[in-house]
């Protein structure tokens, strides 16, 4: 009997498992436009409510990969390894990590995206650099991996087109949170990009997409299983996202902080997470190199400069600065016990650093700088955050987001580990 879209929806609605034929029928049909948006939305909601079995999800992910091209990176001359983060506030790790791991001998093909809501996008950050371009051809990607060792760019329209359609649909149908759909979306793109190995940075905490540890772990385990099932050596680190990572949240501000790390400085938490991920990537690539040395001796900075120049940017050009700054102060004296990451991310978004819809423009200058971090001692009225904004009319909304973000108490908070768990 020929597969029918209503049978596919009913199967999942009633708690059944989709077979390979049903999965391919849906993915191919939705990509081609023969399955309607409302039917795809119904199936996505059924998956959110009913979940997917491991074999079913592997089949779903394979069909997503097969909906477009798969890059061949076999000729780049180095072991290939990539990293993906589930997103957080101030998470500019990719900007440091790609040139750092390349400086240690690997090739890092990082196909990245744009921010939506309170989490920033890697491409938005890099576009704060004058002249830098996100769109490269496949030949340009391969050539840059051969010569520079690292590339951060947008995925082409021919890579996982099924995911592009499903991602947009999930965003407007309240099905973004479905772990099988998150896992397949991430892993289909990473597998299709042709990397040999992958390290996943799964954020957990107030500023993360999945604040609960159990759900973050389940996502990490699901993605690791998918990677291994498709022949990509995969490890996941679950890392803390209760406070912003580093001090800067905002596109140009995060580029400046990344360069500070590449020059051997930077906030300890950002450096710590970056090195932890770099060590995992290099181990998967089979390279016995200490990334801390490449960060300290200038090799990583040299690769950053080369990577930016290769994509039309000027790494020496000054970054634009916001027209206005506003400080948010401590409500009392004591220890800063909490600086809510999500609130800071929402504030940066409202200042102009983020977007509500994919087509919205973002400001390269807007954002927030954390002048103090949890554990620091503060005096009443001492600046804790510095807000950067071009349009002062945006300030009230940002300040409203921060109304309950700062907590001060007589005792310092219990320190949180940067790396909460390792999954492989």
- Report the catalytic residues: 82-85, 122, 170, 185, 189-190
Query: Please, which residues have CB within 8 angstroms of residue 266's CB and are 6 or more apart in sequence?
Result: 246, 257, 258, 260
Separation CA 166–CA 31 (nearest Å): 9
Other C-beta atoms within 10 Å of 211: how many?
Answer: 16
DSSP state for residue 18 in the 8-state scheme: -
Neighbours of 345 (CB within 10 A): 31
Q: Tell me 68's DSSP state.
A: S
Q: What is the 3-state secondary structure (H, E, C) of 334-399?
A: EEEEEECHHHHHHHHHHHHHCCCCCCCCCCCCCEEEECCCCCCEECCCCEEEEEEECCHHHHHHHH
Rounded CA gap, 154 and 135, in Å?
6
3-state secondary structure of 150: strand
Closest C-alpha among 343, 363, 341 to residue 354: 363
């Amino acid at each position: 009997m020929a597969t029918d879209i209503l049978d596919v929806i009913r199967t999942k609605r009633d708690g059944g498992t989709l077979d390979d034929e049903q999965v391919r029928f849906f993915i191919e049909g939705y990509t081609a436009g023969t399955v309607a948006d409302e039917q795809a939305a119904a199936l996505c909601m059924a998956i959110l409510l009913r979940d997917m079995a491991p074999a079913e999800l592997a089949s779903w992910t394979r069909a997503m990969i097969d909906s477009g091209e798969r890059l061949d990176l076999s000729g780049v001359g180095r072991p290939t390894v990539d990293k993906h983060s589930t997103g957080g506030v101030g998470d500019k790790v990719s900007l440091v990590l790609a040139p750092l791991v390349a400086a240690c001998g690997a090739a890092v093909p990082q196909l990245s995206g744009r921010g939506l809501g309170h989490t920033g996008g890697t491409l938005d950050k890099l576009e704060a650099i004058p002249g830098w371009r996100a769109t490269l051809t496949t030949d340009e990607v391969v050539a840059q991996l051969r010569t520079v060792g690292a590339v951060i760019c947008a995925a082409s329209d021919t890579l996982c087109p099924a995911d592009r359609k499903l991602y947009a649909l999930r965003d407007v149908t309240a099905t973004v949170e479905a772990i099988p759909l998150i896992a397949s979306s991430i892993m289909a793109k990473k597998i299709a990009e042709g990397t040999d190995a992958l390290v996943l940075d799964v954020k957990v905490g107030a500023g993360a997409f999945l604040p609960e540890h159990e759900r973050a772990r389940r996502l990490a385990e699901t993605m690791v299983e998918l990677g291994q099932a498709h022949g990509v050596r995969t490890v996941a680190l679950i890392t803390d996202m209760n406070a912003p990572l580093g001090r800067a949240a905002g596109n140009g501000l995060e580029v400046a902080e990344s360069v500070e790390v590449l020059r051997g400085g930077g906030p300890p938490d950002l450096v710590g997470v970056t090195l932890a991920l770099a060590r995992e990537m290099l181990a998967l690539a089979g390279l016995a190199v200490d990334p801390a040395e490449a960060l300290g001796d200038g090799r990583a900075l040299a690769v950053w400069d080369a990577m930016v120049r290769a994509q039309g940017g000027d790494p020496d050009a000054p970054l634009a600065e916001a027209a206005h700054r506003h400080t948010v102060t401590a409500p009392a004296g004591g220890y800063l016990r909490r600086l809510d990451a999500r609130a800071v991310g929402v504030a940066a978004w409202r200042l102009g650093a983020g977007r509500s819809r994919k087509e919205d423009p973002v400001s390269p200058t807007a954002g927030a700088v954390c002048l103090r971090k949890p554990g620091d001692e503060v005096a009443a009225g001492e600046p804790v955050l510095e807000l950067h904004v071009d349009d002062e009319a945006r300030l009230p909304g940002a300040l409203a987001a921060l109304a309950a973000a700062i907590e001060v108490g007589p005792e310092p908070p219990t320190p949180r580990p940067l790396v909460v768990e390792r999954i492989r």
